[in-house]
Amino acid sequence: MENKTSRTEAPVVIRVSDLNKIYKLYDKPSDRLKESLGLSRGKKHKEHYALKNVSFDVRRGESVGIIGTNGSGKSTILKIITGVLNKTSGDLEVDGRISALLELGAGFNMEYTGIENIYLNGTMIGFSQEEIDAKLQDILDFADIGDFVHQPVKTYSSGMFVRLAFAVAINIEPEILIVDEALSVGDVFFQMKCFHKFEEFKEMGKTILFVSHDLSSIAKYCDRVILLNQGVKLAEGNPKDMINMYKKLLVNQLDVETLEDVSGKSKLTTEAGEPGAWKNNFTINEDVLDYGERQAEIVDFAIFDEYGALSNIIQKGSTFEVKAKLRFNETVKDPIFTFTIKDKKGTDITGTNTMFERVETGVCEKGQERIVTYRQQMNLQGGDYLISLGCTGYAGDEFKVYHRLYDLVSVSVISDKNTVGFFDMNTQITVENGQ
């Protein structure tokens, strides 16, 4: 695989400069007709910017993700890059053969059979019939939909349709692969096959641009992430930083004008701890993601090993505790206390909260403190992880984040036996003589 240095020096294959997409919105159909015929005085429409002055580059061999809230313009920009939509203004340059998997149905003729659509898509991308002939068996093997490939695709289930569409997109050896939310469709076996193919593409140095709400996939596969909001590019950078910014955006804790945490710094990370405070025994991550409305505030925390000692070094297989002390600045009903362990890439590995565990928390009055203890067995593999703590809840039907401390402190797991994956199922194996 190409290293990071070579990627930054690689040529740009997608260049988006000050791109705008504007839709005209009319109060009623007759207004559209009057304006088109020149029968109205003044504008009868309002302008809606699906994209506004968006700019970014994608270099050869990069895997770039686009994330954002619903209606932020993620799918719109992919459709413009692939030629499905026309831009209103701005510049777009693409250097390379694109294969795109957009929303269900894009690029397929519903009356054609699966085989006919394979040739139709291949031809649209620029392959000759002979080249498609050579790739046909790989496509059929990957899709694995049997004799349905000879039936019109309008008779397919959504799962079969996506299997075929993805098989075509990924097996025609594009220089640039563009995918919109398609990797989460299909059964677990097909998803596994898709992700394996994704890994192959990265190993081959192909360029990948994709939109997904699956933040774990974004963290795992992307070299860089672009964050959109309401048609505007807020930021771009490494996956972990952009995902953290997106999480704050989801709960209105990001000032989009300044891209700062609207709640400011927590006393936990800016002031020395009280004498005897648990947190004085730990090194707090200087890049901790700290935000919330502060109706409740995490003022102290601790990790205790199996012997009851304060320590962030835990023996695999032992029991340990994480504690959080919270102070309530306002009266809160039924707060939800949360605890999560992430890997170094920011992927959630495991975690729980009082709602999942069906622990009643009741009413916490202003000025009161609560100590929450999470006790569990350490079954993660040996390595370094990050612990996050939080307090959330509901005001009526509205979800509230009172305080979150993401990636607060590290925990090191010591192990003399690691198995496959993130955690150990403590499997008992027996081997017997056969007949």
Confidence of residue 4 (pLDDT cuts 50, 70, 90): very low
* Cβ–Cβ under 8 Å, residues 79 and 130: no
CATH architecture, range 4-248:
3-Layer(aba) Sandwich (3.40)
CATH of span 265-414: 2.70.50.60
Nearest to 373 by CA among 410, 337, 328: 337
C-alpha 84/C-alpha 24 separation (Å) is: 18
Intrachain domains 4-248 and 265-414 with the same fold: no
Q: Where are the domains of the chain?
A: 4-248, 265-414
Q: Look over the chain and give the mean of its residue pLDDT values, rounded to a whole number.
A: 86
| Structure token pair of residue 190 | 């097909």
Model pLDDT for residues 135-189, shown as the tens digit of each residue: 899 999 988 888 899 999 999 887 788 888 888 887 877 889 888 876 555 666 7
Antiparallel, parallel or unpaired: β 369-377 and 319-328: antiparallel
| Predicted TM-score of the model (pTM) | 0.77
**Placement of tokens 């309401």 in the chain:** 230
DSSP H or E segment with residue 9: helix 4-9
| Structure token pair of residue 91 | 């510049």
Nearest to 201 by CA among 222, 231, 229: 222
Rounded to whole angstroms, what are the CA distances from 323 to 295, 318, 411, 433? 19, 17, 14, 49
C-alpha 66/C-alpha 55 separation (Å) is: 13
What percent of the chain is helix, strand and coil (3-state, nearest 5)? Answer: 25, 35, 35
- pLDDT of 401 reads 96
* Cβ–Cβ under 8 Å, residues 93 and 56: no
Model pLDDT for residues 259-310, shown as the tens digit of each residue: 665 554 555 654 555 667 999 999 999 889 999 999 999 999 999 999 898 9
* Cβ–Cβ under 8 Å, residues 305 and 315: yes
* Residue 221 predicted with pLDDT over 90: no
Higher pLDDT, 181 or 54: 54
